[in-house]
């Protein structure tokens, strides 16, 4: 199976690594190839034996399976860019964290061009599981693609042949998961300011004894600092999912703002230089909370 991966960020690179380990031919394209991040991407692709294309169209031409692994806001634009160049019958697996409505719009573009759109909902963080991350499939072509994906090492299950069901499952879960990240950062940082962090964590441990809050706190800070930009976009899609259900997404909207705020500070270098040792890798969340508090206090003094 000839595979094209659109988006050569963290998820795209992991999938490429695991597919190339099986000698599966992989072509990839990412808009960032044209910017500062392009050199690192080219070096990574060279090591893996991944062919880098110069455009969406070049990447997907001749591919049996296209995996779209971009930021949430680009899910529909990527489907639109790829659709005209898809060969007849090619599968288009939408790995993106987008709302059910966005997935349905992307499916219409792909199917109208003769491709076979399959909705994908990644149900947890990719890095620990890699290609075996739990994956829900949706749409009428899901049952056909599922065994082919699992033969490549994926852990895919069909949620429904109706589009939107798999994404709704993920999006509603993300109200909780991404919201918990934002709440931990806000709660723990404020507690650090008042000097009550140990008492707060002790109380949480008593209420939720199955969670190591020190370890979980460090992990949440790391993930949001490193991937807050992508996560904020995902949560805006979560908010759209809630809105499509007829509810005002107060929690999801607040979560998106908190994630974006941390991402802005990370881009400004508050946590060190992105990509260098030590960036978003502290084992103690207090280090990062202190940086956030120092920034907040500087702004208050101004």
Mean pLDDT of 95-119: 96
Inter-residue contact 164 to 117 (CB < 8 Å): no
pLDDT per position as a tens digit, 197-232: 999 999 999 999 999 999 999 999 999 999 999 899
- List the domain boundaries for the chain: 3-163, 171-301
pLDDT per position as a tens digit, 4-17: 999 999 999 999 99
Q: Locate the DSSP E strands across 101-210.
A: 116-122, 134-138, 155-160
Which has the higher per-residue pLDDT, 283 or 174?
Answer: 174
pLDDT per position as a tens digit, 30-75: 999 988 878 989 999 999 999 999 999 999 999 999 999 998 889 9
Give the global pTM. 0.87
- CATH topology for 3-163 is Rossmann fold (3.40.50)
Inter-residue contact 64 to 226 (CB < 8 Å): no
- CATH topology for 171-301 is 1.10.1040
Q: What is the pLDDT of residue 282?
A: 83
Q: Token pair of 206, please? A: 């008593």
Q: CA-to-CA distance for 26 and 12, rounded, in angstroms?
A: 11
Q: Percent of the chain at pLDDT above 90?
A: 88
pLDDT of 99 higher than 70: yes
pLDDT per position as a tens digit, 240-295: 999 999 999 999 999 999 999 999 999 999 998 877 777 877 889 999 999 999 99
């Amino acid at each position: 199976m000839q595979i094209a991966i659109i988006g050569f960020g963290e998820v795209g690179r992991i999938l490429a690594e695991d597919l190339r380990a099986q000698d599966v031919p992989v072509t990839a394209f990412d808009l960032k190839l044209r910017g500062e991040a392009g050199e690192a991407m080219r070096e990574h692709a060279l090591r893996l034996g991944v062919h880098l294309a110069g455009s969406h169209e070049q990447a997907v031409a001749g591919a049996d399976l296209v995996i779209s692994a971009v930021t949430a806001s680009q899910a529909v634009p990527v489907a639109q860019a790829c659709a005209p160049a898809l060969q007849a019958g090619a599968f288009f697996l939408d790995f993106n964290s987008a709302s059910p409505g966005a997935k349905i719009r992307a499916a219409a573009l792909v199917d109208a061009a003769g491709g076979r759109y399959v909705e994908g909902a990644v149900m947890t963080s990719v890095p620990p599981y890699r290609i075996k991350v739990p994956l829900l499939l949706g749409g009428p072509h899901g049952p056909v693609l599922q065994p082919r994906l699992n033969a490549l090492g994926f852990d895919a299950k069909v949620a429904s042949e109706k589009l939107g069901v798999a994404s709704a499952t993920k999006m509603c879960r993300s109200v909780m998961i991404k919201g918990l990240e934002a709440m931990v950062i806000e709660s723990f940082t404020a507690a650090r300011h008042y000097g009550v962090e140990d008492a707060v964590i002790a109380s949480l441990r008593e209420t939720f004894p199955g969670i190591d809050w020190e370890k979980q706190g460090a992990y949440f800070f790391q993930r949001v600092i490193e991937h807050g930009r992508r996560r904020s976009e995902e949560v805006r899609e979560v908010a759209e999912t809630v809105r499509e259900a007829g509810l005002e997404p107060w929690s999801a909207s607040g979560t998106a703002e908190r994630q974006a705020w941390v991402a802005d500070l990370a881009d400004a270098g508050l946590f060190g230089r992105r990509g260098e040792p030590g960036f978003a890798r502290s084992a103690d969340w207090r280090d990062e909370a202190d940086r956030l508090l120092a920034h907040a206090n500087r702004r208050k003094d101004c």
